[in-house]
Structure 1
Amino acid sequence: MTHPCITAVGTALPGPAIDNDRLTELLGVNREWVDAFIGTKTRHFAVDLATGEQHSTLTDLAERAAANAMQRAGVRPRSIDFIVLATASPDELMPATVNRVADRLGLNQIPTYQLQSGCAGAIQALDLGSLLLQRPGHRTGLVIGGDVCAKHLRLDRDVTRLPSHELVNYVLFGDGAGAAVLSGQESARGMALHTVLNQFTGLGQPAGQVIRWFGAAERTDDAIPAEEDYKAIEQRVPELADEVLWQLLETMDWAPEDLSYVLPPQLSGRMTRRIAERLRLPDAREISCVADTGNNGNALPFFQLERLAGQLRPGERALAICVESSKWLKGGFALEGR
């Protein structure tokens, strides 16, 4: 059986990096609290925090990431057989952002798919892309993940007076997009995608994160656009990450010592460190990015893959783990250098 191969990865970040000193200056949040509680050093926003003006859309970032991936893979638009985009924050409800991106890239007369999910959407997109490569005539696909979360944050409020379940969103998240070129050809070189795990695991559980869309008729001044149950996230995500690790190892019949790399969930700098320690894989090198990029949702696995692509050698093995706290989804995938 020929496994799909990730032949190239591209990413895109908007604007300059915003470090914790600048975040404190712009929003008035406590610098020590951000360092200790979040542990993220920098993030990038698609809006100007000083003016509230949006300078990058998801379409802009997804186009840049996809163009970078295609250039690295040496693939032209006419060679793309399908495109999949995963996001929790599309530019509009209609038209779908994936179709705006396809138009920008010069893609036409191909299937397009848009998946609505948090960070687990990137896993779902890779899963769907792998399945689409099994169709006759589908040899090369483009898979994209990205989010622009900052547009949901109200910058006209006194952030210092917000309760913690709202305040965390102003310091935890960033914006960005990533893309991968998938090939179904046996001769393709890169990172072979052996298996993808994608499971809903939130039966009977309250949501850990909620992001709301508002129509003009239902928007009120005191409506909360985004909130998190961070205590539930801190408790459940490490547990679910551990489950994903062992499910993938069992599926692949791999032992922990077979792993050269691990890509842990990218919630925040602090949480990622905790999860990596709990996974107990001292021989596997950690590939993380969230401390530098901020939590940019569906883009995160692609930023990790971009870092891994320059290191994974033929025959080396890696596992990626993802947990989405919205209604509790767990996912991941197994890779081998080819």
Structure 2
Amino acid sequence: MSSSSDRHVSVLATGAHLPGEPLDNDALARICGPLPDDVLEGIQVQRRHWMIDPATGKHLTSTSAMATAAARQALERAGVEPEEVDLIVVSTASPDYLLPVAATYVQEQLGLESCAVIEVRAGCVGAVQGLDIARRNLADGTYRTALVIGTESVSPLLAPVFLGQDPERVRMRDRLTVYTFGDGAGAVVLRAGEEGSAHEGSRQVFATQSMGGARKPGMLIVGGGTDVPLAEQQGRKRLMDIKLDIPGTAQFGPRVFVRGIHDMLERSGLALSDLDACVLPEGNAEYFASEYGTAGLSDEDQAVLSKTIVENLTDVGATGSAAVPLALDAGWAEGRIRPGHKVLLLAIEASRYVYAGLTLTWEAPFPGK
């Protein structure tokens, strides 16, 4: 709940950056072999952007550079100069370096000698968690203007699967991983108003939960950590690798989605019919949506939800920390999210089956005006 002395926090603008030209499924078929049509229909991804050259694996940009590009677009749309930013919150699971954190490189690239930086190491849920961290710091007067950025570079982990390989010999499980993920960054500019300007009609509610404490990870990125000695890591087939529990995520993932939706509605006092937009990055993916009923979402609620889902999975793929801000940016730019709309941001990630949700009332006018 907001206290009477809290400052009202507004989203001024969003921004996005997708590296390089889009790679369609035909392009991936040439480098790692095709996927069956029914599998492609299930994951729904038709295009994605990679920060590597798929022919050579060379990096064409970086996680922090993508974050900065998205931030610059968001700041320009908001009419905010970089030097007005006093807090940067970045979420990523693929930083340029383990230390310093990627947020400091965004700070450097924006030309800010001094700035508060916070980094969340997470996948899809991190940007929503980061938005709430920034919101709280602005609402209590600690800072006034914040940049929240989700940025992800997954393609460098995918390249060893197919570089130098006969496409027909790439395992079907590995192909599925390659087809699923994309790279990119999304940014949000937040600003606090005057003290005491918060009001009940724009109350922002947050919730997050890990539901996988008794389950094996749905997604595990192996390498570069301290799980075993470095010499042992170097002896692995791949120095870094993504391991997906595909059956587990297909079965348990929808339960995380539905638990998250119910949790957010209960905490906010809203019904699905009260929401104008639900930013759910994979909300329409067939392998998720087909299990909503089994997971506990009524047919009536599914029908209401389907009319409000805002996502762009088809065009960008699964983009980890960038997923929610990229979908939010697309929804705003397409006019699906407009001033006065009640918006639910909800992300889940397979890592330990985590969800994070945030409600807000949208205020930013259409970005073209």
TM-score normalised by length of structure 2: 0.84
d(CA) in 2 for partners of 1:240, 1:252: 18
* C-alpha RMSD of matched pairs (Å): 2.5
Matched, 1:205 2:218: no
d(CA) in 2 for partners of 1:31, 1:46: 26
| Alignment partner, residue 140 of structure 1 | 145
d(CA) in 1 for partners of 2:202, 2:318: 26
Q: CA deviation at 1:131?
A: 1.8
Q: 2:304 aligns with which of 278, 282, 304?
A: 282
Flag the 1:193–1:169 CA change in 2: closer, same or farther, 3 A: farther
Q: Which amino acid aligns with 1:194?
A: Q
Q: CA deviation at 1:296?
A: 1.1
Q: CA deviation at 1:213?
A: 2.5
Deviates more, 1:273-282 or 1:53-62: 273-282
| Alignment partner, residue 256 of structure 2 | 240
| Alignment partner, residue 367 of structure 2 | none
d(CA) in 1 for partners of 2:280, 2:302: 12
Flag the 1:137–1:232 CA change in 2: closer, same or farther, 3 A: closer
Q: 2:345 aligns with which of 310, 320, 332?
A: 320
| Alignment partner, residue 274 of structure 2 | 258
Q: Which amino acid aligns with 1:252?
A: S
Q: CA deviation at 1:276?
A: 7.5
User: Any conservation in 1 of the 2:311–2:331 contact (CA below 8 Å)?
Assistant: no
3-state SS, counterpart of residue 98 of structure 1: helix
Q: CA deviation at 1:220?
A: 2.6
Matched, 1:300 2:300: no
| Alignment partner, residue 156 of structure 2 | 151
Q: CA deviation at 1:58?
A: 0.6
Matched, 1:40 2:45: yes
| Alignment partner, residue 170 of structure 1 | 178
User: Any conservation in 1 of the 2:284–2:309 contact (CA below 8 Å)?
Assistant: no
Q: Which amino acid aligns with 2:317?
A: G
Matched, 1:220 2:230: no
3-state SS, counterpart of residue 304 of structure 2: coil
**What whole-Å deviation, never above 9, does each CA across 1:122-179 have from its counterpart, x for those lacking one?**
1111121112113435111010001000111212344544545433221100000010
Q: 1:118 aligns with which of 113, 119, 123?
A: 123
3-state SS, counterpart of residue 14 of structure 1: coil
Q: CA deviation at 1:261?
A: 1.6
3-state SS, counterpart of residue 112 of structure 2: coil
| Alignment partner, residue 25 of structure 2 | 20
d(CA) in 1 for partners of 2:255, 2:279: 16
Q: CA deviation at 1:31?
A: 5.5
Q: CA deviation at 1:251?
A: 1.2
3-state SS, counterpart of residue 211 of structure 1: strand
3-state SS, counterpart of residue 194 of structure 1: coil
Flag the 1:137–1:120 CA change in 2: closer, same or farther, 3 A: closer
d(CA) in 2 for partners of 1:281, 1:79: 43
Identity of matched residues, %: 30
d(CA) in 2 for partners of 1:16, 1:59: 19
Q: Which amino acid aligns with 2:95?
A: P
User: Any conservation in 2 of the 1:21–1:31 contact (CA below 8 Å)?
Assistant: no
In the alignment of these two chains, the number of paired residues is 336
Q: Which amino acid aligns with 2:188?
A: A
Gaps of 5+ in 2: 364-369
User: Any conservation in 1 of the 2:283–2:289 contact (CA below 8 Å)?
Assistant: no
**What whole-Å deviation, never above 9, does each CA across 1:293-320 have from its counterpart, x for those lacking one?**
1111111101121133333334321222
| Alignment partner, residue 330 of structure 1 | 355
Flag the 1:159–1:325 CA change in 2: closer, same or farther, 3 A: farther
d(CA) in 1 for partners of 2:130, 2:355: 14
Flag the 1:160–1:229 CA change in 2: closer, same or farther, 3 A: farther
d(CA) in 2 for partners of 1:17, 1:275: 30
3-state SS, counterpart of residue 216 of structure 2: coil
Q: CA deviation at 1:268?
A: 8.2
User: Any conservation in 2 of the 1:83–1:142 contact (CA below 8 Å)?
Assistant: yes
TM-score normalised by length of structure 1: 0.91
d(CA) in 2 for partners of 1:235, 1:92: 34
Deviates more, 1:72-81 or 1:20-29: 20-29
Q: Which amino acid aligns with 2:215?
A: Q
Q: CA deviation at 1:196?
A: 1.9
d(CA) in 2 for partners of 1:55, 1:193: 41
**What whole-Å deviation, never above 9, does each CA across 1:261-294 have from its counterpart, x for those lacking one?**
2222428843455478855142742211011011
d(CA) in 1 for partners of 2:328, 2:62: 23
